[in-house]
Amino acid sequence: ATSRGREYAHAMEKAVERLSALQSKRENIRNICVLAHVDHGKTTLSDGLIAHNGFISQKLAGKLRFMDFLDDEQRRGITMKSAAISLLYTPKATPDAGEPGPLLINLIDSPGHVDFCSEVSTAARLSDGGLVVVDVVEGICVQTHAVLRQAWEERLQVCLVFNKLDRLIVEMGYTPLEAYERMRNLLHEINGVMSAFVSEKFISQADTLLATFGGDNVAEGDETAGDDAELEDVLTDADHSDAAFSVDRGNVAFACAADGWAFRVDLFAEMYASKLGCSSKALQKGLWGDWFYHPKSKKIVGKKTAGGKLKPLFVQLVLDPIWKMYHAAEAEKHGYPPEGKDLATMAASLKVDVPEKDIKSSDRKYALNAILKAWLPLSPTILEMVATCLPSPVSSAPHRSFRLMPAPTLKAELDPDDARALVASRKAVATCSTSEGASTAAFVSKMLAVPMSAVQGMTGVGDSVFLGFGRVYSGVLREGDKMYVINGAYDPSQPEDGACEEVIIEELYLMMGQGMFRVKEVPAGNVLAIGGLEKYVLKSATLSSTKMCPPFGNMMFQVAPIVKVAVEPENVSDMPALVEGLRLLNRSDAFVEVGLMETGEHVIAAAGEVHLERCIADLRERFAKVALKVSPPLVSFRESVSDTGTAEATTSNGLLTIRATASPLPAYFPRVFEDSVESLRKVLLSAQIDDADKLAPEILSKLKTSREAVAIDGDGTEGDVEANLSEAWALGPKQVGPNLLMVGETIDAETGMPLRSLGKPLVGEAFGFTRTKREYATPESAVPSLIDLSDPTVMSTVEGNALTGFQMATSRGPLCEESLFGVKVSLEVIAKPRQGDEEGDGGFGEEQYGPFSGQVTSATREAIRRAVLKAGPRLVEAMYLSVITTTAEALGGTYSVLGRRRAKILSETIREGTGVFIIHSYLPVADSFGFADELRHSSSGASNAQLMLSHWERLDIDPFFTPKTEEEREEFGEDGDVGPNMARQFVDATRRRKGLKVEETLVKVATKQRTLSRKA
């Protein structure tokens, strides 16, 4: 066994040498990721491709799941971490191009479970193309939509693989014609999804251009170049929007990865072209769609001539032979003669090279697979599609550069030399340059915790080493190079602000599944693992050889880490080990969030239950290695209002009263703001005006579209967007949150007349709105006050600290100190008037009450919190979109589980041609824990659920409800204690967890207490 292990290691080292020698030929590289919904066959497909290079046996391909090297992955049967491997493939020779050179294919397998969607983000960022795998029976599922969106956002070119064709024959019993119709409908649906993405971008960018130019003549010169390039990008995408996937173009393959066979129509076109007397190119176009072979005229005819009596060419020439093979195998298995030819005769007529013993095997399924593998081999079909349809790093770089490395947000002007260097570094990435003078840039998408035994040159059992999983985008990265680690907040105009650290590259590795093999250098366009970054990179970072390099753009994550638990060691003395373990866990997972609460609890936030289980297992077994206590899940809420409420608070010195009015924003406002946080940050906080010109119209377009989606004709909401934004002073919390602070007023204490405005409509101006001017009373008519608000210094102090108070109030609401959501706040400031001959002492009582600025902040915060309590406060809870697949027998049990968990049913559909029902519903996150297990239990395993974070929804129950009318008293009891007040339960549970005061009756009926038994 030891000698066999040494032989394997030696063979791998030889393979690595050959693969690393190909890394410099950028045109012959393909970086691809495999994307799909859970259980659609990604890892099985990857197995088939890996077997092509002999790293695993062809017989084990599809069963071994080579890329799932974690114990949990093998046990659960799902992928949890994205992993990479480099493969070698020599494409078929073409008459025009001559003998092609070998291709280096860097394959990244990604998870399909929604809880691990962050791994899909890291895989998509490092790839240039993708294979989207779709189960032909399951069809397009939730995560299929999500990965198509991910690929679109990262500007990946994708190919489609229809997998599990054998299920249509064996499980569903479809005829070839029914199977063809099923796949044609699926292809149409997937192209519709891709077309929607293109339309969305085209419309938003057209709005941007119209808003920017407004019909005026565009100034000539350099300023138009960037806009022209962007416009060109839109038009190019629009040209291809009608069919992203096309069978005759060759970017659609049909496969059964578990059995190891696949085909594209070009194979059959070459096979039948001479028999039908036409060119293979022409036949390839006719092998999909409404084209038929007319036996009398011996011509390919359209639908009209066929008259509904003929089979489509795809059915007749492609599917029929495969169906006949399966039916023959089924007949032979049960010992009765097949309707047509038997398997052995078919194998002979196909002239495939299959050993005699395989054809005569008593296991007819094995004999069938052997013939199909020889006739329609999986790996050459898929790898040929990758070689011809997916781009090399050089050809994909220009299309992806604006997404990979967007223009940086500069707070200051750059020197001309620095500006040129900045442009040069972006240009090097856009051209994937490896020339001598090009700067080196790489992106680390996540940190991998790899066992030392899997890393070449390292020894150690059980210990993990952290390597950066990344890709070189320009230049050549070598061992010993001095590089700068740049985080996402880096500003090239302020290189010394601490967001840039120097590091020496110690180790570079080629990734071969779990194994890491040392290499000396890696040129641009290649995927790699980098050692020695543990102290410098937390989750992801940019590596550059120059400080004049903008950071790579943030990766898009489909969900937020919503499920939280508190962890503590069973033994207090293990606390240092837990803290260190949490640090390592935070580094190893791109998506997990680790924090310390004010109560001293260590909290882990994950995407879902499965992800959380994985994180806890990693912490317990790999990183902390101590026994842990894990709390029940902690759920995040938000706070909102249902009505309008006004409240006042006075500063400690009594000189200034602040009146706050809280009211609800239209429901679509907070949703759009939540989805556009990055764009809002650029529009409101960026020093560059160009960004605001492009992004502000996009956000406005989303707001108007969302309003139209919920509006009813004549409901008077047409001007809502402009009315709210034109008066907006700030957003909160964190200056980009879903709450609005409106421009306020200073009020005369005696007459109640407004004297002047409080704040400026900064948000409105950023979105291009002008505020209507208001007429204010003359200062002479106002009653003199102890604070002179006409003094610009005093006014700026009041405005600045009122703004701070608003940010503080929105970050912690009054119900349970969760952030506010969808609240509009307006402020009024009233100065205390002079009484008779009362004179101010010229100060603000700061010696007694502290700084006046702090008094204003506290008073504003308190006024807003009181106003929220008076405005009918409501909890806002997170909602999952739940997609359940179930059978008719299990529908009753499924609906009972959904009913118990307050789910809102959206739709119930039956999958065409099957007995499978699909139920879409919204499920509150607070009631989702243990949902999948209970569902399986109540339906005897017939129901499966996928949960994806959808939106925030107001829980329309008053937490302070008390019955007032006679009817309410009859229904809810005198004190409203008949039936639980769910909102109040959530508020109390959250307050109790945070260590806040909870009002609850401990002794309900005093006379009954003494009769209770006392247990020791």
Q: What is the pLDDT of residues 151-180, one digit of tens each?
A: 988 889 999 999 999 999 998 889 999 999
Which residues have C-beta within 8 Å of that of residue 219, sequence separation ≥ 6? none
Least Cα distance to 530 among 472, 615, 582, 463 occurs for 472
Q: Whats the size of the chain, residue-wise?
A: 1016
Please tell me the distance from the alpha carbon of residue 271 to that of residue 953, in angstroms, as a whole number: 58
Nearest to 405 by CA among 255, 249, 549, 211: 549
What is the DSSP-derived secondary structure letter of residue 315?
A: I
Q: SS3 for 73-142, per residue?
A: HHHHCCCCCCEEEEEEECCCCECCCECCCCEEEEEEECCCCHHHHHHHHHHHHHCCEEEEEEECCCCCCH
State CA 688 to chain mean position distance.
27
* Listed residue (447, 448, 168) closest to 322, CA to CA: 168
How far apart CA 30 and CA 391 sit, in angstroms, is 7
Q: Which amino acid is it at 130?
A: G
Q: Output the CA torsion 958→959→960→962 (10° steps).
A: 60
CA angle 679, 683, 688 (to 5 degrees): 115
Q: Does the predicted TM-score (pTM) go above 0.85?
A: no
Q: Are 543 and 470 in contact (CB under 8 A)?
A: yes
Say how many C-beta atoms besides its own lie within 10 A of residue 663's C-beta. 18
Decide: 990 and 599 in contact? Cβ < 8 Å: no
Contacts of 845 (CB under 8 A, 6+ apart): 652, 653, 655, 852
At 665, give phi and psi (nearest 5°). Answer: -85, 155
Whose CA is closest to 43, among 30, 56, 53, 34?
A: 34
HEC per residue, 968-993: HHHHHCCCCCCCCCHHHHHHHHHHHH
Secondary structure class of 789 (helix, strand, coil): coil
Query: What is the spatial distance between Cα 930 and Cα 60, in angstroms, rounded to a whole number?
Result: 35
Cβ-contact 392, 279 below 8 angstroms: no
Give the per-residue pLDDT at 73.
77
Say how far residue 640 (Cα) sits from the centre of its chain.
Answer: 26
Residue 392 C-alpha from the chain's centroid: 25
Interatomic CA distance for residues 275 and 288, integer angstroms: 18
Residue 86 CB partners (closer than 8 Å, separation 6+): 16, 19, 104, 105, 106, 107, 510, 511, 512, 527
Q: Closest by alpha carbon to 523, among 593, 408, 448, 436? A: 436
By C-alpha distance, which of 708, 650, 608 is closest to 118? 608
* Secondary structure (DSSP) of 329-393: HHHHHTTS--SS--HHHHHHHHT----HHHHT-S-HHHHHHHHHHHHSBHHHHHHHHHHHHS--H
Return the structure tokens found at 659.
């009146």
Residue 992 CB coordination number (10 Å): 13
SS3 content of the chain, % helix, strand, coil (to 5): 40, 20, 35
Q: Which residue has the tokens 């999952």?
A: 880
Cα angle at 562 between 557 and 565, to 5 degrees? Answer: 130
The single-letter code of the amino acid at 851 is P
Backbone angles phi, psi at 419, to 5 degrees: -65, -40
Q: Which of 406, 340, 343, 330 is nearest to 371 (CA)?
A: 343
Supply 493's token pair.
């105009």
- Residue 749, helix vs strand vs coil: coil
The β-bridge partners of 948 are 881
Positions of the chain with pLDDT under 70: 1-5, 8, 95-98, 200-243, 460-462, 558, 686-693, 713-716, 777-786, 834-846, 974-979, 1001-1016
pLDDT of residue 819: 92
Asked if 770 and 726 touch (Cβ cutoff 8 Å), the reply is yes
Paired tokens of 250: 């060759």
pLDDT (0 to 100) of residue 513: 83
Q: How far apart are CA 406 and CA 550, in angstroms?
A: 8
Q: What angle do CA 243, 247, 252 make, to 5 degrees?
A: 95
Cβ atoms < 10 Å from Cβ of 750: 12
Per the rule left: phi > 0, alpha: psi between -120 and 50, beta: everything else, 164 is left
The one-letter amino acid code at 199 reads S
Cα(163)–Cα(604) distance, rounded to whole angstroms? 37
Give how far Cα 176 sits from Cα of 122, 142, 165, 181, 312, Å.
39, 27, 11, 9, 10
Residue bearing tokens 């024959």:
169
Per-residue pLDDT, 831: 84
Residue with token string 């995040």 = 636
Task: Give the residue carrying structure tokens 């960022």.
Answer: 125
Among 931, 664, 980, 975, residue whose Cα is nearest residue 822: 664
End-to-end CA distance of the chain: 62
